[in-house]
Amino acid sequence: MDRDAGDYALGARSPGGFRFAEDTVQLSTHSGTHMDALAHVWEGDELFNGHSSANVRSTTGAKKLGADKLQPCVTRGVLLDFVAATGSGLPSSTPIGSVELVEAYRRANVTPSPGDAVLLRTGWWDSTGFSDEYFALEPGLSDDGAQWLAERDVAYVGADNYAVEVQPDPGGATFPVHLRLLHKFGVPLIENLDLRELAGTGIGTFLLVLAPIGLQGSTGSPLNPLAVV
């Protein structure tokens, strides 16, 4: 037997010739493509909808608003492709505000609708990969843009960057879009999306299937979104 390939099972018992192998996977719930639960961020002493922040503990997880409360969803997805509009990815730290969103919807020939999942393609994932610049200088949604989307009652907002929002914030605030959407309006965020293949279809709307893992008390969930085009 090749010990490099089979070390795990070499010492296992084999009643009647039966053999098996298992795996243990450990990962950050906020790495790779994932969805932020509403327990992820807050300000003051309250989470979204007035729940006490005392319900979130590093040792026991979130008693309220954790990933176990994120339900599977099928909804309309809307792709706002800023790469197609500019011919290249957005420059570092470019904010996407209400003016840019209105123009992006016009280009896509789409009207905002309650319950939409809005996906922003900035080109940041494509151009930088995971690097210091990727985390520090991303183009993305501004607080003004987040408010504009929230007022249109969107269900989810996602982007091809690590935080959805522009970094650093032009006004010097700390993750104001997270606070605006997660904390104040209860809109989960989807981060680190690879939108290249979807953008290649040239369509603006599609059926989006989201099935986050209901990890008890987690502040986020790994996600494998499915766009049906």
* Rounded CA separation 71/66 (Å): 11
Q: CA nearest 112: which of 149, 64, 86?
A: 149
- Taking the C-alpha atoms of residue 215 and residue 229, their distance in angstroms, rounded to an integer, is 29
| DSSP one-letter code for 134 | H
Residue 213 has pLDDT above 50, yes or no: yes
pTM, two decimals, is 0.91
CATH code for position 208: 3.50.30.50
pLDDT band at 212 (very low <50, low <70, confident <90, very high): very high
φ/ψ of residue 62, rounded to 5: -90, 125
Q: What is the pLDDT of residue 12?
A: 67
Spatial distance between the Cα atoms of 113 and 155, rounded to a whole number of angstroms: 10
23 falls within a domain? no
In this predicted structure, what is the pLDDT of residue 1? 41
List helix spans (H) across 117-180. Answer: 124-128, 132-136, 143-151, 176-178
Average of per-residue pLDDT across 180-190: 98
Q: Which amino acid is at 73?
A: C
Does the residue 20 lie in any domain?
Answer: no
Better-scored residue on pLDDT, 130 or 31: 31
Range of the domain at 172: 34-228
157 falls within a domain = yes
Q: What is the DSSP code (8-state) at residue 184? A: I
**Residue 3 within any structural domain of the chain:** no
Question: What would the pLDDT profile of 102-161 be if each residue is shown by its tens digit?
Answer: 999 999 999 999 999 999 999 998 887 667 788 899 999 999 999 999 999 999 999 999
Burial string for 171-194 (b: 16+ CB within 10 Å, else e) reads: eeeebbbbbbbbbbbebbbbbbbe
Residue 159, in any domain of the structure = yes
Closest CA to 165 of 188, 191, 184: 191
Q: For residue 59, is it within any domain?
A: yes
**pLDDT, average across residues 45-63:** 92
* pLDDT tens figures, 19-29: 877 888 888 99
Domain-embedded: residue 16: no
Q: Is residue 48 part of a domain?
A: yes
Residues 6+ apart with CB under 8 A from 23: none
Mean pLDDT for the chain overall: 92
* Total tally of structural domains belonging to the chain: 1
